[in-house]
Homo-oligomer: A and B are copies of this chain.
Amino acid sequence: MSVDDLLQQTAEWLRGEGPMSDVVISSRIRLARNLATFPFLSAASDSQRTEIYRTVVEAASASPLCTGALAVDVEQSDEIDKEVLVERHLISRQHAQGEGRRGVLVSPTETVAVMINEEDHVRMQGLRSGLQLDVVWSDINQVDDELEEALEFAYDARFGYLTACPTNVGTGIRVSVMLHLPALKMTQEIDRVVRAAQDMRLAVRGLYGEGTEAVGDFYQISNQTTLGKSEQQIMDDFGENIIPKVVEYERTARDALAAKRSYLLDDRIWRAYGVLRAARVIGSEETLHLLSHVRLGINTGRFDPFGIETLNDLLMSTQPAHLQKAHGQTLGGEERGRLRAELLQERMAQAE
């Protein structure tokens, strides 16, 4: 499997399936681990770094979940491939832009990814569509167990798993859920939700994690600290309490918009479609923003020219690196804008 093959498929997490998928795009759990027999990366030599890389790749490749996996040597990858992995949420931007021997292993449907030598020696990620933290947890736990059979992780009886950054010490778990909250944005209630989340010491970020804006009404909510709470507590907090509440707010806001002046909602949805269908040059941010409105239309039954599969495909294939990868070359912003518009027209026409 190669990065090229990724473009031929829709990642499981983007399929729009799973519970509450009208609001919840995806559920992610990430575990941070370090090998006990090597120093943290900040203190590791180049040869130690290479040794860590080889050790983890070998152990992970033996894991059944990684059968048929994509293995990418990120250090050797070209810029577009690295960006494709970022756009697919398989590696962090930090990992793409980092230096030295590093890589990622990705399971065939992209539900599991193991980053090697990002901030920690190992960062495992489970990612699925909709709100299904339990399934993701089971995926990731299995990989963790399998890796632990072959590797010795740095663990302290008092603190738990040791990590490069203190906020990850303990369970080393980070749970994050990607939400689509266009109605809360329209009714301006989103600020209240964000503040409430922050009061609960949760981080609220945009589509591509830390430091990114919530373009297209996509929000990531994640826990910030891992010490002092069990994995199960953190997941229960998210899966049974916090996220369902936010989903309920969003659904209520959608109903309110539909009940009050439904034509304003329709106007928003159909104009977005009109522009996406007609533009001859369009940027990725605007595309995301407009696709967000169409997504709302699909999920509220107000839009029917095509379904969620097409929408999700467009969300990914219109991203800059995906566009360039599909065209086999680096393109300037202007050219990307034109090709993006062409792609939108073609795919929409096919789907309709």
Q: Counting CB contacts under 8 A, is A278 at the interface?
A: yes
Chain A interface size, under 10 / 10 to 19 / 20 to 34 / 35 or more: 10 to 19
Complex contact A275–B271 (CB within 8 A): yes
Q: CB < 8 Å: which of B267, B281, B282 contacts A279?
A: B267
Q: How many copies does the complex hold?
A: 2
Q: Counting CB contacts under 8 A, is A159 at the interface?
A: no
Residues of B within 8 A of A264 (CB): 280-281
A30 to B274, CA, bound (A): 42
Residues of B within 8 A of A185 (CB): none
Q: Counting CB contacts under 8 A, is A306 at the interface?
A: no
Residues of B within 8 A of A282 (CB): 267
**Which secondary structure dominates chain A's binding surface?**
helix
A276 to B277, CA, bound (A): 12
Residues of B within 8 A of A270 (CB): 278-280
Q: Which residue of B is nearest A263, CB measured?
A: B280
Q: Counting CB contacts under 8 A, is A266 at the interface?
A: yes
Q: Counting CB contacts under 8 A, is A251 at the interface?
A: no
Residues 8-55 of A at the B interface (beta carbon under 8 Å)? none
A281 to B281, CA, bound (A): 25
Residues 268-302 of A at the B interface (beta carbon under 8 Å)? 270-271, 273-282
A321 to B30, CA, bound (A): 61
Q: List 28 A-B contacts (CB under 8 A).
A: A263-B280, A263-B281, A263-B338, A264-B280, A264-B281, A266-B280, A267-B279, A267-B280, A267-B281, A267-B282, A267-B341, A270-B278, A270-B279, A270-B280, A271-B275, A271-B278, A271-B279, A271-B280, A273-B278, A274-B274, A274-B275, A274-B276, A274-B277, A274-B278, A274-B279, A275-B275, A275-B278, A277-B278
